[in-house]
Amino acid sequence: MSQEIFDKVKDILKDIENTAVQSKDELEQFRIKFLGTKNVVKPLFSEIKNIANDRKKEFGQLINEVKQTAESKFNNLKISLAEGEEDAAGAEIDLTAPGAPMTLGARHPISVIMNRIIDIFERIGFTVAEDREIEDDWHNFTAMNTPDDHPARDMQDTFYLMNSTEMLLRTHTSSVQARVMKAKQPPIRIIAPGRVYRNETISARAHCQFHQVEGLYVDEGVSFADLKQTLDYFAKEMFSQDTKIRLRPSYFPFTEPSAEMDVSCFICEGKGCNVCKYTSWVEILGCGMVDPAVLENCGIDSKKYTGFAFGMGIERQAMLKYRVDDIRLFFENDVRFLKQFTSA
Ligand code: PHE
C-alpha cells in the first residue's frame, strides 16, 4: 500500500515536470492543480497513516520536493509565457515598412536671393568681401564722404553703441568698400553682402535690420557706361532676359553722379500691377561713380583711378520676387513660412 502512495506522488512529480502551458489560463490551471489550496497532493496526506513508520520521513521529503518543483516550474512557465508574448508583439513590427520621413531643412529666402546675386557677380569677376557689423564712424560715414555735420547722415538713422559716438552698427556695407580700398590698390572688383542696421520703426515695409549686397569696381578708365552695362547684365540674369533697366538721377554722398535703378516690372511685364504701382517700373538699387573724395580718403589716387559702386537691399528683392507683403516675416523664423522657399 505505501509503495502505491509513493508511486502516485512520483507520477505527480513527472506531471509537473512535463507540463507546458500556452496561455495564462493554462498557467492558472497549473497553479490551482499543484499549488492551490485544493492541490492534488493534499488528499495524499490522509494516507500518511498507511505508510510504514520508517518511510514516513522519506514521504515527507518527497512531498516537499513536489512543492518546490511545482513552485519553480510555475515561475519558469510564467517567464517563458511572458517571453512568448513579447515575441508575438515583436512579430507585429513590420521591419520592411518605410521609416517616417525626416523633414528637410530649407535655405532662408534671404540667403537664396543673396546667393543668387553673389553668383551672378562672381561670373563676371567680382569676389566676395566681408567685414565687421560693428563699425567705427570713420569707415561707415567719414570715409564715405559723409563727415560729422553732413546732412546726408540723416538719410540713415544710426544705432550707436552705448556711451559711444565712435562705434556703431553699420548702416550699409559701404564700410566694407572703405576697408577693402584702404587695404589694397586697384584693380578692385568686390561685392559686399551682409547685414546692416538702421534705427527705423519696425513695420510691414521697414525693419531695423536688413541685408544688402553692395558692389565696387575701381580701376583705370572705369566709366558710367561700364556701370550701366554691368547693371543691365545683372538685371537680365536676376529677373529675365527681357528685363529693361532705367537709371534715374539721384543723390548719395559717396557717388557723383548718382542714380537709382529701376527694372521693368517682372510681375506684370509692363501691364501694370500693385507691385509696380501701375508704373511698370520697380526700384531695385542705388548706384553711381565713386566720388573722387572717397577714393582719396581711402588712399587711392583719384587722378589715376575711377570707379563705380552700387548697393541693393535683399529683403526688398525677396519681397518682390516671392510676393511677400510683410518684411517682418523674414526675421520671425517661423518654419511654416521659411520652408516655402526652395529656389530663387
Ligand atoms: N550705400 C547705399 C545705401 O545703403 C547704397 C549705395 C551703394 C548707393 C553704392 C550708391 C552706391 O543706401
Domain ranges of the chain: 2-91, 109-341
Q: Which residues pair with 313 in a beta bridge?
A: 212
pTM of the predicted model as reported, rounded to 2 decimal places: 0.71
Identify the pLDDT of residue 321: 84
CA torsion 81-85-88-92 (nearest 10°) is 180
Contact status, residue 21 vs residue 77, Cβ threshold 8 Å: yes
Instruction: Indicate whether 1 pLDDT > 60.
Output: no
109-341 domain in CATH 3.30.930.10? yes
Measured from the Cα of 155, ligand 1's closest atom is: 12
- In the block, cell 518654419 appears at 335
Q: Is the CB of 253 under 6 A from ligand 1?
A: no
What confidence tier does 89 reach under pLDDT thresholds 50, 70, 90? low
Phi, psi dihedral angles at 304 (to 5 degrees): -90, -35
Q: Which residues pair with 211 in a beta bridge?
A: 195
Radius of gyration of the chain (CA): 43
Phi, psi dihedral angles at 86 (to 5 degrees): -60, -45
Ligand 1 centroid from CA 282, angstroms: 17
Instruction: Indicate whether 111 pLDDT > 90.
Output: yes
Ligand 1 centroid from CA 191, angstroms: 12
Q: Give Cβ neighbours of residue 344 (< 8 Å, ≥ 6 apart).
A: 112, 113, 115, 116, 321
Report which protein residue has its CA nearest ligand 1's atom 6: 311
Instruction: Indicate whether 152 pLDDT > 90.
Output: no
Q: Is the CB of 307 under 6 A from ligand 1?
A: no
Cα(193)–Cα(119) distance, integer angstroms: 12
Q: Give Cβ neighbours of residue 298 (< 8 Å, ≥ 6 apart).
A: 143, 178, 181, 182
H or E element in which residue 245 lies: strand 245-252
Contact status, residue 202 vs residue 196, Cβ threshold 8 Å: no
Q: Is the CB of 176 under 6 A from ligand 1?
A: no
Q: Is the CB of 252 under 6 A from ligand 1?
A: yes
Cα(245)–Cα(18) distance, integer angstroms: 95
What confidence tier does 39 reach under pLDDT thresholds 50, 70, 90? confident
Q: Which three cell numbers stand for residue 198?
A: 538702421
- Give 58-88 pLDDT, tens digit per residue: 888 888 888 899 999 999 988 888 887 777 6
Report which protein residue has its CA nearest ligand 1's atom 7: 311
